[in-house]
Structure 1
Amino acid sequence: MSDHSRIGGSSEAVTRRSVLGGVAAVAGAAIAGTGALLASSRPAAAVDGDPAAFEAGDAPTVISNDGRIESVYLSPTVDVSWTDFSEGVERVTLSLAVGSDAGVDEVYRETFTADDPGETPGDVASVDGSDDEQSDAPPDFDAVDGGLTARFERADATARGDAVTSETLSAVDLSGGETATTTLDVVFRADVAGGGDEATVVRTTTVDLTVENPAGDAAAGGSVGVEAV
């Protein structure tokens, strides 16, 4: 099993806490404020390799004879709400980072502003009012209590940095019938600012990526015609 595979024990817990701290840090420094912020929804993650794909939370396994995980795709939808911003909100910055024991990579970072509330910058597929409002209209940044829902384009996390890559996730030395699992931390961060008020929230989840090298097998069949003269 490769060095990056997950092994139980107290040292793992220390390493995991360190990685989570690094993921939160790479998403930006903490901001203290008087506004209240609530962020919800879990990231959707998928591996789209040959021949398997999976969604986060399904104990995913990639079957591969060479022990490789080619890609890890993310396509998150993030709901953010704010309360008690007496002068409304000027900007909302959303970021998403992924990390393992190999390090941390930022996959998304986008900022929405009151100047153009319907803008879909960068990797953003759509932005509208919060799901609670059930509205396709742009978010109301002037609201004292408001929110938005941002849907991001599908992105391959292994192509966004140098830490979480196909090489660090794969286990090319697996023998037939063996498996290796890497725990990938996925961290959302939302920063909301307006009228001198600022608030930050961080939400995390994990995805276990398993690669399996199937044991060899063989079969034979057919028919033989015999004819005598």
Structure 2
Amino acid sequence: MDYKIDLFYIMEGFWPLMQGLVVTLKLTIAANVIGLSLGFVLALLVMSNSILIRWPVTLFIEFFRCTPALIQIIWFFYCVPIIFDIYVDALTMGILAIGFNLAAFNAEAYRAAIQGVQRDQLDATIALGLSPLQRTIHVVLPQAFRASLPVLVANGVGAFQQTALVAIVALQDLMYMGKILATDTYRPIETYTTVALIYFAISFPISQLVEFLERRRGAARS
């Protein structure tokens, strides 16, 4: 195979890749906002004593946890407009698909953390006369967030990597722009290696942060 590495076209097409990266980061940030907030709400609802609340939420969580993210993205892009007659831009659809997927995984992390909140602290808030909403906001949420932070960060990194799947529905993210560049220049090795390095350059420092948080938690417990 006579294939010579040539970075000229990558340098020429670097700006379109950066434009795609901006879309990827928008997807990631917005999906994480949904995942962090909705995930906590889902965790509270799935622990409800009412079966009418608990089972629909459980079904929502398990659907997004037990089906491929690619199928979810395709379903949002092509099925939601047909079934519900809702038409929004592709970026919003991508945010919702990845955000709901992330919320389902974050809900499980939150749920485990909420169950770890000490009972005597909740009893103290009841004695102080705090309402259920006040107890949730001032006691449960801060502790659950701190306890589940390493998992939440790891899930956030996973969401960043999953954004590459939206390229299949022609949303012009980093992966899509890389595919266009590789097709136009006939330089797949250089292009996809560059795209992979960009994903790595962003994901690796955050993954190291997760390990740091895990070590810090372990040190605090010992």
> Do these two structures clear the TM 0.5 threshold for a shared fold by scoring above it?
no
Larger-gyration structure (1/2):
1
Q: As a proportion of its length, which structure holds more strand?
A: 1
- TM-score of the superposition, structure 1-length normalised? 0.29
- TM-score of the superposition, structure 2-length normalised? 0.29
Q: As a proportion of its length, which structure holds more helix?
A: 2
